Amino acid sequence: MADEEIYKYDLLVPLEMPSPAEFWGTSWRAPFVRNGEVGFQFGVWEASYHRFQERPYIVVRTAASKDELAFLACRILRMIGRAAVKLDISIRPVRGPICFLRHGERADLSQLSGIPSEEVPDCSFPSETYSISLPVIHLSHALGFDEEVEDGQAHAEEEVYRVFSDVDFEASVTSRFISLSTILELMAERTQRDAEAVDLLSTWEKEAKAKNRHDLAQALNLMRHESIGSAIAKLVENAAVKASLPAEKVARYKTKARDAYRKRSSLLHAGVKVSVEELASLREIVRLILVGDTSGTGFTPIANKEWD
């Protein structure tokens, strides 16, 4: 009988996290514990978090067929991406095709692995000099329960979460700032200006073309939609109102978002630098938009490079 007819598979997902970040808790399978196993709830599935020679990975107990697991993997990776935003730390899962293992085979940390249910292969990675640990229940709460979304929305969310998951692996404050700014631009939707404004712009565009000023005609055409700065401000305002923030905080976040976008636009000029405070402010805005939270977590000092 073929392997896929014999086995039900769990998904092993190797993770990359800034090395000071860690989760702790207790195993649900004691005394049968391997690789520092910590049990937690991953949405509707039981799961375990492991660290072998300082390399983290999780096993999601899907008990799925090969075809089912290939489908579920996309959902699981999207949930991890959203949890990373909620926890305010980059958690970057390995992506790509799933390697399905036989009983007793070791998982390669360069790829996702479909493992026969209840098996836990070993993994390894070098350590750093300090760490911050949170109870693994924080990871479970951040994962929550995945909501049903349309394919287009799921794809858009996955792209944004993927950018966020890369942020903490950027080497400098400036590169982190640029990545977070990119999220704002991806999320902002520029709407068309009101009918009166569009009519005026159309008239001016015709006049510019009549005088062979195609450069001005093109610029006027681009003005039919609101500026990206205005779209970002509206995005932030909607998120702040949805989070039930008071009016003064809504206004402050809109101002901070505009300032961040202007800063992003000027970074190519000589002498312009990004401070840790500016990075922290932008990250707060991004998390407000994505998960409706601005309070930070135990991992936030790592994320904001406060000790670098």
What is 244-307 written as a DSSP string?
Answer: T--HHHHHHHHHHHHHHHHHHHHTTSTT----HHHHHHHHHHHHHHHHS--S--TTHHHHTTTT
* pLDDT reported for residue 201: 76
Sign of CA dihedral 214, 216, 221, 222: positive
| Predicted pLDDT of residue 79 | 95
Question: For the chain, which ranges sit under pLDDT 50?
Answer: 1-4, 126-127
Question: What local confidence, expressed as pLDDT, does residue 31 receive?
Answer: 60
* CA pair distance 136, 108, nearest whole angstrom: 24
Residue 71's pLDDT is 93
Residue 179 has a pLDDT of: 92
Q: Are 106 and 122 in contact (CB under 8 A)?
A: yes
The pLDDT value given to residue 6: 56
Please report how many Cα atoms fall inside a 13 Å half-sphere around the Cα of residue 265, on the Cβ side. Answer: 10
DSSP state, 98? E
pLDDT at 29: 66
The three-state secondary structure class of 132 is strand
